[in-house]
Structure 1
């Protein structure tokens, strides 16, 4: 018996590029993270311009951040048990950070800490809370938002001294947002 091997030479056709994502879809996909950044910086900016502290803003912001962290980690959590753990971990985490933020508004604390330091402390707490929540949720995007918020604390301290730096900070937020959009569009 002889084995005859028929070999057919396959010539590859033109490579078909993967379908590209539109910038609009990439921006929409990254919108929650961009909103988190804007909400964090917006809260500090609002607090610096307000005559009285606005506890309601932070009381709303912490649960919204918690819900976004749960949404970011939901698909990575395998099964009902892991998802329930994610929900309870995030709920406890953000309740603790909300309590710490609200402590910054106590009259005894405000008597010792001036308003500028209070705003910076709130941003630092929000950045740290967001970063750690991202670690628990397994979301690098949430961790990146927390890192940007936390790393911006020295910049915000300088911003309170200079109007020129306000423009630079705005550009930084836009650049970080563009980085998220670019990363999403490349996936």
Structure 2
């Protein structure tokens, strides 16, 4: 576009400066970051739900893995140039999340459940989700997915403590909101 403007300008006259970009609104930035914030909330929400219920909910985690996979494909879609790269992205993410779902399902096997208590299962699920998300972000080339995975994985020790204190759960929620604010500010600047 700037090439056509420069070509249309008379010889010797400076090319007009490009129009300044309109400032992004908080609403648009928040909407653009919504999938990543939803991933954080879903990860923490699953652990919170599992902590409040009698047993960890297998169905929740069976839904989360493919959902995270779809979000990772969406995040990497524009980076994948051409049909071949996009097909590779889809297959890589599908295989990746199928493997992590299988690992999550292993935690629900009766032989494992007999040895590992429910709190350890919840923490193991969050750790698997964080690691899976981090590695999926690396494959998709999305720093935001990597950041979500890092936050989920790094929160494992905090969740272990959070399970014993309601006040710390509020602090964890505030931390998740702060991460969301960082995503929104990054979107507004970028």
Q: Same fold (TM over 0.5)?
A: yes
Select which of 169, 174, 177 maps to 1:174: 177
2:137: which partner in 1? 134
Query: What pairs up with 1:14-93 in 2 under 5 angstroms?
Result: 17-93=20-96
The Cα of 1:52 is off from its aligned counterpart by 2.8
2:167: which partner in 1? 164
- Partners of 2:147 and 2:55 lie apart in 1 by 31
The Cα of 1:163 is off from its aligned counterpart by 1.6
- Partners of 2:13 and 2:131 lie apart in 1 by 59
Range 139-148 or range 52-61, more displaced: 52-61
TM-score normalised to structure 2 length: 0.89
1:125 maps to 2:133 = no
Range 45-54 or range 23-32, more displaced: 45-54
- Partners of 2:164 and 2:93 lie apart in 1 by 35
- Partners of 1:104 and 1:58 lie apart in 2 by 11
Q: Any gaps of 5 or more consecutive residues in structure 1?
A: 1-7
Give SS of 1:76's match.
coil
Alignment RMSD (CA, Å)? 1.8
Q: Any gaps of 5 or more consecutive residues in structure 2?
A: 1-11
The structure with the larger Rg is 1
- Structure 2 contact 55–118 (Cα < 8 Å) conserved: no
Runs (4 or more) in structure 1 with deviation over 2 Å come to 15-18
